[in-house]
Amino acid sequence: MKADRDLIIIGGGGAGLAAAQYAARANLSPLLLEELATGGQALIIDRLENYPGFPEAIPGTELTRLFEEQAVRFGTEIKYTGVQKLTWSDGLFTAHTDDGPLTSLAVILATGAKHRTLGVPGEKEYAGKGVSYCATCDGPFFKGQPMVVVGGGDAACDETAYLAHLSDSVLMLHRRDRLRAQKALAERTLTNPHIQVRFNTELKEIRGNAKVQEVLLLDNKTGKTVAQKTSAVFVFVGSIPQTRVIEGLGVKLDQGGYVETDQRMQTSLRGLFAAGDVRATPFRQLIVAAGEGAIAAHTAAQYIDELKGDAYR
């Protein structure tokens, strides 16, 4: 059976758009499937100032618009539809979309990950206005100002240490009586003079006026609440990799549910590649996602050439 496309890319964030551009330049005529809008996590970044080549801060929406424009100019087709699941049979992948099945020789999974949220009043309202899920993205905007961090795992400790380089007033909240991060990482956090760790404490509300000004904290041992002034709230309570579409394929995941790949972005299922935040990676940033997307497209092109007997020897 002939495939509808050589390559299908699922997800239109930074990784997916970069993969699309490189795949299009390799003459694969890629089809990118995106459920809502291209851009992914970058869409909620008001001022992106750490992407190389842009010395002045650029809105995440504008940068990803340029990503999309470039990919389309080289020959990418973008289809806005949801993908319910991905199956594999007789050498072909089938993306079961809201508009019907589409087949391909190879697939790049770039569905990303969603930040876990606290679900407290004010969190959604002040997202991008003091509430953040990325210290390296937004921390510099609050240099020298008081900040609150919510979380107690490895990521929370890592990100808090970064923020402690920017301010000597970083308050870390954890709802339990000890950090769940690795012992050495937890010890460094607890002994950092710029970090105050408050255990058995939950953030119950985020307040402000156009931007974050204070938070309401609950001591879950005593039941008492107290207001705390702050300029920013950084939430690191985990993320949820978006792997639903590959359930049933037996693709290897790590303990956190992220897709494991080799350095060529190849998953445990031949012909299925993964890039960006859905992949097990030590550093989730737009530039990393874009680089992984480029690698995935390059490797996918080589894989497709091999299938067609066109591989360079």
Is the sign of the CA dihedral 285, 166, 227, 199 positive or negative?
positive
DSSP state of 128: T
4 noted as active-site residue:
no
**Which residue is catalytic, options 6, 134, 157, 158?**
134
137 noted as active-site residue:
yes
**Which residue is catalytic, options 4, 6, 138, 168?**
138
Angle, alpha carbons 80-83-86 (nearest 5°): 140
Could you give the count of Cα atoms lying within 13 Å of 284 in the half-sphere of its Cβ? 26
**Residue 290 has which token pair?**
């874009």
138 noted as active-site residue:
yes
Which residues contact residue 123 at a Cβ distance below 8 angstroms, ignoring those fewer than 6 apart?
117, 131, 206, 233, 235
Closest by CA position to 15, among listed 29, 2, 1, 34: 34
**Which residue is catalytic, options 4, 46, 99, 137?**
137
Helix (H) or strand (E) holding 300: helix 286-308
| Residue environment code for 175-192, b if the CB has 16+ CB neighbours within 10 A, otherwise e | eeeebebeeebbebbeeb
Q: Active-site positions? A: 134, 137-138
